[in-house]
Amino acid sequence: MIRTIERGAIRELQLDRPPANALSPELIVSLRNAIEQAPSQGVRALVLSGSPGKFSAGLDVPLLLGLDKPAISEFWPAFYGLAGAIAESAIPIAAAITGYAPAGGAVLATFCDWRVMADGDYKIGLNEVQVGLPLPPVILAGLRRLVGPRQAERLAVGGEMMSPMEALRVGFIDEAAPPEKVVERALEYCRRLLALPAEAMTSTRRLARADLVALFENVEPELRRVIELWWAPSTQTQLRALVERLKKKTS
């Protein structure tokens, strides 16, 4: 589910779960392990990418709706654990957003150090509200850190999906690039950081991201609420309606 591509001191982790790199429990665990293990393997920076046109479709809702309560109670801490692993990574992570990135796909990018997105007919955004899920506080805080309070309110409450140029305008991404250049631009960002004096860069990066890391402290009450809301009848109705719409699109 993840292709590992070695690029010198930089490792590209390419999501490879067809058809749309939707986040299953297995993919979430695998990606977290790959991120956490990389520094001890001599990797100095990571690029997180997807397949052409499809970064990640977000959570695999059809699969998750088939899970029982114990499995969902394991899933959400695992998802938070992945987001936290990105935020807390000891080495820089650049997101090479190769295409569509709704919901969970946008969450992965939110907690990276830097984001470049393919310029084209693609969308990115935290559209959880549109599919019946309240945006979790940790994710809202990450969004607010990127775009500021007013834009975060607009994007989160409306579940807005943005074009690459709109995402660039509001500060959700750092750069838009031709699709064939997205991974290379992410690699160039990492190379620029790695060319700096290592201790100075690492120490300053750690200090600059301390507020992001702090978001994941004491998240247990939030997780309990997220799991409770997942099982709310209104949420389940909206999610099942989403799955039916997806089935019609693919039939």
- 164-201 per-position pLDDT tens digit: 999 999 999 999 999 999 999 999 999 999 999 999 99
Residue ranges of domains in the chain, CATH in brackets: 2-194 (3.90.226.10)
**Counts of helices then strands in the chain (DSSP H, E):** 12, 9
In the predicted model, is pLDDT for residue 136 greater than 70? Answer: yes
Tokens of residue 218, six digits: 């004491």
110 vs 162: CA distance, rounded Å: 14
Q: Across the chain, what does the average pLDDT equal?
A: 96
* Apex 18 CA angle, 246 and 182, nearest 5: 105
Q: Worst-scoring range by mean pLDDT, 3-7, 24-28, 129-133, 156-160?
A: 129-133
pTM for the full model? 0.96
How do strand 10-15 and strand 2-7 relate by DSSP bridges?
Answer: antiparallel
pLDDT band at 246 (very low <50, low <70, confident <90, very high): confident
pLDDT band at 219 (very low <50, low <70, confident <90, very high): very high
Contact at 8 Å (CB) between 100 and 54? Answer: yes
Please compute the mean of the pLDDT values over residues 129-141 and round it to a whole number.
93
User: For position 251, what pLDDT does the model report?
Assistant: 64
- 11-20 per-position pLDDT tens digit: 999 999 999 9
247 or 41, higher pLDDT: 41
Please compute the mean of the pLDDT values over residues 203-226 and round it to a whole number.
97
* Apex 130 CA angle, 76 and 174, nearest 5: 80
Number of other residues whose CB lies within 10 A of the CB of residue 107: 27
DSSP codes of every residue in 42-53:
T--EEEEE-BTE
